Amino acid sequence: MNRHEMLGRAIERREPWDMVVVGGGAVGMGVAVDAASRGYDALLVEQYDFGKGTSSRSTKLVHGGVRYLEQGNVSLVMEALKERGLLRQNAPHLVTDLAFVVPNYEWWEAPFYGVGLKMYDLLAGRYGFGRSEVLSKDETLARLPTIKTEGLRGGVIYYDGQFDDARLLINLAATAAEQGALIVNYAPATAVTKDGDGFVDGVIVRDLESGREFRAPARVVVNAGGPRCDAVRRLAHPGAEPLIAPSQGIHLVFDGSFLAGGTAIMVPHTTDGRVMFAIPWHGHTVVGTTDTPVAEAAVEPLPLDGEIEFILETAGRYLQRTVTRADVRSVFVGTRPLVRAGSGGSTAALSRDHTIHIDPSGLLTITGGKWTTYRRMAEDAVDHAATLARLPEKPCVTRNLNVHGFHRQADNFGPLSVYGSDALLIQDLVRAEPSLARPLHPALSYSAAEVVWAVRVEMARTVEDVLARRTRALFLDARAAIEMADEAASLLARELGRDKAWQRQQVESFRALAAGYLTGA
Ligand SMILES: Cc1cc2nc3c(=O)[nH]c(=O)nc-3n(C[C@H](O)[C@H](O)[C@H](O)COP(=O)(O)OP(=O)(O)OC[C@H]3O[C@@H](n4cnc5c(N)ncnc54)[C@H](O)[C@@H]3O)c2cc1C
């Protein structure tokens, strides 16, 4: 993945691409992988960094969605459970099984959730992750030693998947590149071009690093702009009715000790009727999420005070320890690309399923769904796009396509396990330059070698790319990430041949951004 080389090839290209994909989140990258692996010529452009949008800000669950089961949406759950199984099969270095316990404080909860979760097991069929079971009080406490014991009757255990969203995205980017797609970050589509009949036949792309614009001609343009896909549609149709009703969700990240024992907690009904999770992730505890309708999808959405208070209060109901703002290591916010059902209404009634929308000019938008179903969404999008562009039919191959980094025993690589087979190459970097083994911060397990790797191999261009998405420092501990910025900037400058002024500017803008991940305690 070399940005300079890929950008150069994109600029030189005169022949139309089979597909140009706008948006480098889970869905767009899935489309690039799918299209390229079928043998179509694909270019993907992302306006910021890969995963800067919602795809680095999820709850980190690869799941069927227990909640949709309760709503009776069996086919949606079955499809997601199948995708959950395929993702673990194709990216075992990044997708792992996780045990969840629903703690029971009322007599009816064990039979009620026990039956519901058996149904969840059943729907997974051969893609099952483990059998759910009703637990006694002691068994529940053995799994969740930090949970409130007062009134605890027992629990129900079930299994789902967990992953590192931004790492999976970067590995999908590498997969897309290996399959022959060109992918360019910091390259917004600023306009859509049309042929004499008014059909979309390409996009204008700006390289944010040089300011240069170029045209990418296309047989079909796939809009995978996520919660901002309506803005892309408006490039082709300024008056287009919005497809998306954005809604934001926040997560609070705490020390790992808040959830000792390695088992996650699932709260099926918070006081506002939502599901909430507390999950162990990279040695920390992630708690979320909320669902707050917003007017538009901000690039860097910020948490509302009420959302922070709500999560603290809910966590406080289930954990023995008092949970306060001072315990929060980081708060991160994502915007859901919820597809509007009919005309307006509350977001709770909106579809979580995915939608393919084709504008009169032939611009194809794929949106909705969730991370877990990105592959299926991409398959549907490419099927439709190929038909629209009259491309020769080629079968989808991603059901059994290993994701870059595929490794069955990645745990053996310790802190480098998320890199899968690439961990060996990072170890080689350290062997060649032993000083790169130095940790970047005592609170987190990241080393200088990972910054160098991110720049050389994973197209990281800024301090934010390295600390937010190639490593997850900003999401795990915002203060530590701020303290890592100087060193990260100096390593980036060395690798990219940038001067001191660039380094200073990078550190300043990262600090300003990271301030939004602190709760102000
Ligand atoms: C709080 C929260 C928790 C969630 N938890 C889970 C979970 O645990 N499990 C799960 O399966 N799903 C989860 N989801 C859902 C999942 O994260 C999203 O469905 C998924 O990430 C959406 O991916 P996307 O590619 O459509 O959007 P995005 O990731 O937002 O990608 C769209 C990209 O398009 C780019 N773009 C926009 N306009 C342009 C342009 N003009 N030119 C170039 N690029 C452009 C944006 O910069 C962005 O990077 C969660 C969502 C939220 C909000």
> Mind giving me the DSSP string for 388-443?
HTTPPP----GGG-PPTT--TTGGGGGGGGGGTTHHHHHHHHHHHSGGGGSBS-TT
pLDDT in tens, 353-403: 899 999 999 999 999 999 999 999 999 999 999 999 999 999 999 999 999
Instruction: Give the C-alpha separation, 162 to 471, whole Å.
Output: 17
Closest CA to 173 of 369, 23, 333, 281: 23
DSSP-derived pairing of the beta strands 264-267 and 96-104? parallel
How confident is the model over 291-302, as a mean pLDDT?
Answer: 94
Is the Cβ atom of 506 under 6 angstroms away from ligand 1?
Answer: no
Q: Do 245 and 348 contact (CB within 8 A), yes or no?
A: no
Reported as a pLDDT band with limits 50, 70 and 90, residue 67 is confident
pLDDT at 163 over 60: yes
Ligand 1 centroid distance, CA of 31 (Å): 13
- 248 Cα nearest atom in ligand 1: 53
Ligand 1 centroid distance, CA of 57 (Å): 8
Share of the chain above pLDDT 70, in %: 98
39 burial type by CB count under 10 A (0-12 exposed, 13-18 middle, 19+ buried) = middle
pLDDT at 347 over 50: no
> Which of 20, 31, 50, 55 gets mutated to test ligand 1 (max ligand atoms within 8 A of its CB)?
55
Q: CA distances (Å), 74 to each of 79, 316, 346, in order?
A: 9, 33, 22
Least confident of 5-9, 62-66, 233-237: 62-66
Is the Cβ atom of 28 under 6 angstroms away from ligand 1?
Answer: yes
Find where tokens 């629209």 sit: 388
Q: Alpha-carbon dihedral of residues 433, 437, 438, 443, nearest 10 degrees?
A: 160
User: What residues are paired with 86 via a beta bridge?
Assistant: none
**The pLDDT of residue 521:** 65
Q: Do 437 and 205 contact (CB within 8 A), yes or no?
A: no
117: which 2 tokens?
A: 């979760």
pLDDT at 485 over 50: yes
508: which 2 tokens?
A: 């300043």
**The pLDDT of residue 113:** 87
Please list, residue by residue across 202-222, b when 16 or more beta carbons sit within 10 angstroms of its beta carbon and e when fewer do. Answer: bbebbbeeeeeeeebbbbbbb
Count Cα neighbours of 410 within 13 Å in the Cβ-side half-sphere.
21
Ligand 1 centroid distance, CA of 86 (Å): 20
Reported as a pLDDT band with limits 50, 70 and 90, residue 342 is low
What is the separation, in whole angstroms, between the first and last Cα of the chain? 40
Q: Do 136 and 310 contact (CB within 8 A), yes or no?
A: no
- 49 Cα nearest atom in ligand 1: 49
* Pairwise pLDDT comparison (233 vs 129), residue with the higher score: 233
Q: Alpha-carbon dihedral of residues 201, 371, 336, 230, nearest 10 degrees?
A: 0
Is the Cβ atom of 84 under 6 angstroms away from ligand 1?
Answer: no
- 80 Cα nearest atom in ligand 1: 11
Protein residue closest via CA to atom 27 of ligand 1: 226
pLDDT at 27 over 60: yes
Reported as a pLDDT band with limits 50, 70 and 90, residue 109 is confident
